[in-house]
Structure 1
């Protein structure tokens, strides 16, 4: 019994230390994000897309959109990519062994015919079946290949990219009309920039017309609503803060712009990685640090790509445990970077904090629940003090969510209706009444899958965009 008391006492202090670290990291990120967004807002007031589009300085970009069974959204998504305002771009859709009629729909919708597209790199990939080119839009290409996963599909796109910059997207991505003009700015300002990430917005129940999001609103269902709040916290606060500290650990695979030569230099995306976007970001940091080559990896918060998020708990749970499993894989693969001065701020600050707060956080939180229950049973806890700490943890979490909402509203104001704003505020409280605990469970499940070496993963089901197109 005395041994159990000692174990519980240690666990209580570990959980308390974790709570302090979380509070400090979130507060620091918010404080760093505020001046960065103030600067961005001042800069945006002088950023005129028409003038930028008319300039001759914009480098050509290839948009790589991997698709697997995206028949519900593929035509609308490609139409959106073609409609993105940018002077010189290629749209390269890579069908990754689709089992539905994604390929047939694209061929019919865009009048495509078989064509030859020569490779410019030799990253190993699954076999290519056929390449197609649109008769009506020569800048649109479709490559149909054997199934190999998203990373493999993007590697096919890298192999067939003819431009100095390439943009990775999800198959259902809807880029904002000025997104490319904005995300390319770090490359124009600094030649050492090798990658830049944009913001991911949730398109569920927004109005889409001719491939563009014309009306932004909160989803009608509760599950996507909670994800909107999560995305606002992740992008408007956390990533802006890490970027301001020059230690951005992750570029989302749903919207990232890369120098083609940088991705080729590291061998493309890792097809064995569950979280291929996180892994390639870490590998780029590692490669350039070890080679002693100056580089920058940036985050551009005002460049937005809209994507459909899971709308039911089963699919969301599979997505989240996969994300967590993928994160643990990256931490293990690149563990030599952790607390290693050779890798600068990314190795000394952002990756260690990410590992403790994001990767180990769910496990520590579950241990905290168990330790709290055992402490009550053993009578070794001051109940009023414990209640005060729990209340403080809740208030700090609430404050962090509200601060992220305030930052988003100040800088971007994407959600403008009063009902949406009131709902977002309500979600900061309601998410703690079950949804947060579910996400903790899913992430613990992903942690367990990592330990077991489980490779299972379910498919993401689509319901399609809320389109206002006449057809």
Structure 2
């Protein structure tokens, strides 16, 4: 009887072990494909783009104007360098709208003081639902900048209000804790202008600014951050953007686009309903809605990702804050794929339906449960003699060794192409943390993702507020007088 019971336990354990290993095989196989595609995409981009390409965007009479929308809530510590970087963007026609979403800190007064803003009246056309603004602030000496004050309604509401005020055919969303490089907007608009197909979205890479020096809206010195948690995220962002999103772009399956730095075709975004409040990741949701509208209406379109235009952002420097961020990301992803679950394996949606949404659902969405369970089941069952050595070693290979190779590959791709961290010491540190990431940090992040999954099961709708460290300035910020 006991022997039969043990055989049954071994059988059940091996069934679950094989399911876990199958998950890692499938996930790593897809990651390998994305890695291969990203090398091809980056190589072609390096051949295609150059100074002449940017000159074409800068000097072309048909280069469309772009409205940069910055939704901001209680960002007094980071908003000034963000706006300064936007004002210095090299782009022929831009307007900048900072939407103060009912902040309770001194953000609005700091903006008024720094840029010499005065209150004014504006008329706008309400095309998307959004709370009515309190007031508008402007300085004639800085004609491209307008600050809008409104009651608190959440980030989607602030973005929709910005779209209502936008006068351009394209708008670019930028988070209030981000710094853009001078040519970022030019590089992000390049695929929009050079493509013969209607490009409705153009997304760029986001990098970690922690540890870097900032002067008057510019990242003047690029350095790796000192804390291990921040260095792990540098590697993580490289893998996510250089491999993940670059690869999906070449496959025609762009589904995830970071709202921290992304250009949208305004009319398409409005047609898709703008930014919704029924998920906590409104940027993913609006991309899915745009795919839906365009696919069902059988329009030709393109969504682009470029790994060159750089947006620098702060990352969490404490695990408590990291947990809030990752729970929100996981909650929002699951909310979005469940909202658009009719796309899963639906050939009407092309690559999005047959590859992207299934991958985001079963690997990135629910896969965290399989992965988390595997970290406990397989080692424990091996120690109890329930799992054979060959399956245990295969698990180590797939879950730890292969994951390290993918992370190392992302660092090497960065080194071979953009080399944002030119010091040899930084390269060795990145390679070290690419390996170490899979031994502790990854498991912690998976735990946070599992928590986000259970938040979804509980029906949680609101996301936890994430606060980062203050950006590091290297010079005082002078005040600009109105009319000066």
TM-score (norm 1): 0.96
Q: Structure 1, unaligned stretches of length 5 or more? A: none
1:68 correspondence with 2:97: no
Q: Render the CA deviation track for 1:230-261: whole Å, top value 9, x for unaligned.
A: 00001111111110111111111101101111
Q: 1:415 touches 1:421 (CA, 8 Å); kept in 2?
A: yes
Q: Corresponding residue for 1:94?
A: 99
Deviates more, 1:346-355 or 1:126-135: 126-135
Q: Render the CA deviation track for 1:352-389: whole Å, top value 9, x for unaligned.
A: 11222211221001222343256336633212441244
Q: Corresponding residue for 2:446?
A: 440
Q: Corresponding residue for 1:84?
A: 89
Post-superposition shift, 1:418?
Answer: 1.2
Q: 2:128 touches 2:274 (CA, 8 Å); kept in 1?
A: yes
Q: Corresponding residue for 1:164?
A: 169
From 102, 113, 121, give the equivalent of 2:118.
113
1:327 correspondence with 2:333: yes
Alignment partners' CA distance in 2, 1:445 and 1:52: 45
Q: 2:85 touches 2:218 (CA, 8 Å); kept in 1?
A: yes
Post-superposition shift, 1:228?
Answer: 0.6
Q: 2:124 touches 2:165 (CA, 8 Å); kept in 1?
A: yes
Q: 2:337 touches 2:360 (CA, 8 Å); kept in 1?
A: no
Aligned length in residues: 471
Q: 1:117 touches 1:160 (CA, 8 Å); kept in 2?
A: no
Alignment partners' CA distance in 2, 1:430 and 1:378: 27
Q: Corresponding residue for 1:21?
A: 26
Q: Render the CA deviation track for 1:269-322: whole Å, top value 9, x for unaligned.
A: 002211111111111111110111111111011111111111111111000011
Q: Corresponding residue for 1:381?
A: 387
Post-superposition shift, 1:49?
Answer: 3.7
Q: What is the correspondence of 1:59-458 to structure 2 with a 5 Å cutoff?
A: 59-190=64-195, 191-373=197-379, 375-376=381-382, 379-458=385-464
Alignment partners' CA distance in 2, 1:212 and 1:57: 28
Alignment partners' CA distance in 2, 1:354 and 1:263: 22
Deviates more, 1:126-135 or 1:47-56: 47-56
Residue 333 of structure 2 aligns to a residue whose secondary structure is helix
Q: Render the CA deviation track for 1:60-97: whole Å, top value 9, x for unaligned.
A: 00000011101111111111110111111000000011
1:374/1:461 Cα in 2 relative to 1: closer, same or farther (>3 Å)? closer
Q: Structure 2, unaligned stretches of length 5 or more? A: 478-484
1:462/1:396 Cα in 2 relative to 1: closer, same or farther (>3 Å)? closer
Alignment partners' CA distance in 2, 1:415 and 1:286: 39
Residue 171 of structure 1 aligns to a residue whose secondary structure is coil
Deviates more, 1:59-68 or 1:135-144: 135-144
1:386/1:459 Cα in 2 relative to 1: closer, same or farther (>3 Å)? same
Q: 1:63 touches 1:90 (CA, 8 Å); kept in 2?
A: yes
1:109/1:246 Cα in 2 relative to 1: closer, same or farther (>3 Å)? same
Deviates more, 1:430-439 or 1:113-122: 113-122
Alignment partners' CA distance in 2, 1:49 and 1:284: 28
1:292/1:48 Cα in 2 relative to 1: closer, same or farther (>3 Å)? closer
Q: 1:289 touches 1:343 (CA, 8 Å); kept in 2?
A: yes
Q: 1:219 touches 1:225 (CA, 8 Å); kept in 2?
A: yes
Residue 94 of structure 1 aligns to a residue whose secondary structure is strand
Q: Corresponding residue for 2:481?
A: none
Q: 1:70 touches 1:462 (CA, 8 Å); kept in 2?
A: no
Q: Note the aligned Cα RMSD (angstroms).
A: 1.6
Alignment partners' CA distance in 2, 1:98 and 1:227: 28
From 25, 35, 38, give the equivalent of 1:30.
35
Alignment partners' CA distance in 1, 2:475 and 2:137: 26
Q: What is the correspondence of 1:40-51 to structure 2 with a 5 Å cutoff?
A: 40-45=45-50, 47=52, 49-50=54-55
Q: 2:372 touches 2:443 (CA, 8 Å); kept in 1?
A: no
Alignment partners' CA distance in 2, 1:455 and 1:340: 27
Q: 1:94 touches 1:144 (CA, 8 Å); kept in 2?
A: yes
Q: 1:192 touches 1:295 (CA, 8 Å); kept in 2?
A: yes
Q: 2:382 touches 2:392 (CA, 8 Å); kept in 1?
A: no
TM-score (norm 2): 0.94
Q: 2:133 touches 2:148 (CA, 8 Å); kept in 1?
A: yes
